[in-house]
Amino acid sequence: MADVGRLAGVSQVTVSRALSDPSMVSAETLKRIQDAIRVTGYVPNALAGALASNRSNLISALVPSVTNIVYASMLHAFSKIMRARGYQLMVGETGFDLAEEEAVVATHLSRRPDAMLLTGIHHSPAVRRMLLSAAIPIVEVWDITETPIDCCVGFSHVAAAAAAANYAHSHGYRRAAAVTAGDERAARRRDAFVRQFEALGGTPVATVDFPGHASLGGGRQALATLIAEHGFSGGVIFCSSDQFAQGILVEAKARGLAVPSEVAVIGFGDQEFAPHTDPPLTSVRVDREKLGTAAADALLARFAKKTMTNPVTDIGFQIIERETS
């Protein structure tokens, strides 16, 4: 700030006034200061300004993976609205790990964000304490609960999986398997699918679980495991992700298994490639753009101190039927 002042021919105090409230200096002085800022490349200390204004114009957004298109597309819709209102996103990656989420939450809160977006509704006790103490708007996404920290936007993973089981049974499938990634929400979907499918009279559901994230290679391995270790000889496979489903289709083709007559597949997420697999993939669709938009709207309503009649926004889901089932 001193360098800017010397270049503009004003005091450091005048520079500070111009940055905090431009109306306090003349138009000519403000222009000289702005020109000096451009020349020097000076970036005002937003954190210091936040101490005075109690605003940072930062929104903290925590997702399990920044490379997963499911979360990236949701964040894109969310960010578009928040940027139009003068906010920037500070993104953190938690990797489906409660301890990692705790560390990221602590780091982000130290930067004084004006609000925080969290993926999921299950957090460590320490995270809940930090968030409640921060006293800022919090929106939990990709899941719903009757007891959110502040507000939540998502859908019922249990209802989505039960709907997939109902769909499979109604289409005549009596044998099933489930392939699941190492994610608490995916595990809930697996359990709900198994319960509902077996309750409808289906045979016991074979399951293959992976500790990490979903992948095409994991899907290929899953079908091989189901055949070699579980004696899977036909039926429907419910996957926690379209990536697994795509891998199963590749492996089925490599083994000469007909889809869907010998192996039927239901994915989750309805990603952009789902209509273009061979054959096109049946999947559970969650409108990611709607999710991001609804999350942004919830935070903006909290900023405006509007009364929220219901802190829970359920955006629902849809089973998109294609040729794999």
Label each residue of 43-80 as H, E or C.
CCCHHHHHHHHCCCCEEEEEECCCCCHHHHHHHHHHHH
Closest CA to 243 of 63, 65, 61: 65
Chain segment 16-72, per-residue pLDDT in tens: 888 878 888 999 999 999 888 888 777 665 555 555 556 789 999 999 998 888 899
Gap between the Cα atoms of 282 and 276, Å rounded: 11
* Tokens 């003068």, residue located: 86
Chain segment 85-123, per-residue pLDDT in tens: 999 999 999 988 899 999 999 999 988 899 999 999 999
pLDDT in the model for residue 69: 86
Closest CA to 93 of 138, 57, 47, 60: 60
pLDDT in the model for residue 47: 53
Chain segment 260-301, per-residue pLDDT in tens: 999 999 999 999 999 999 999 999 999 999 999 999 999 999
pLDDT in the model for residue 309: 80
Long-range contacts of residues 107-113, Cβ cutoff 8 Å, at least 24 apart: 108/60, 108/62, 109/60, 109/134, 111/47, 111/56, 111/58, 111/60, 112/47, 112/50, 112/51, 112/56, 112/58, 113/56, 113/58, 113/59, 113/60
What the chain holds in terms of domains, given with CATH numbers, is 2-44 (1.10.260), 56-155+288-317 (3.40.50.2300), 157-285 (3.40.50.2300)
pLDDT in the model for residue 45: 58
Gap between the Cα atoms of 193 and 308, Å rounded: 33
* Residue 77: band (very low, low, confident or very high) from pLDDT cuts 50, 70, 90: very high
pLDDT in the model for residue 17: 87
Closest CA to 78 of 8, 23, 154, 167: 154
Average pLDDT over residues 152-173: 98
Q: Which two tokens stand for residue 68?
A: 């997963």
Question: Residues 179, 268: contact at Cβ < 8 Å?
Answer: no
Gap between the Cα atoms of 233 and 77, Å rounded: 42
Percentage, residues of the chain above pLDDT 70: 96
Q: Which two tokens stand for residue 308?
A: 């929220």
Strands 318-320 and 282-285: antiparallel
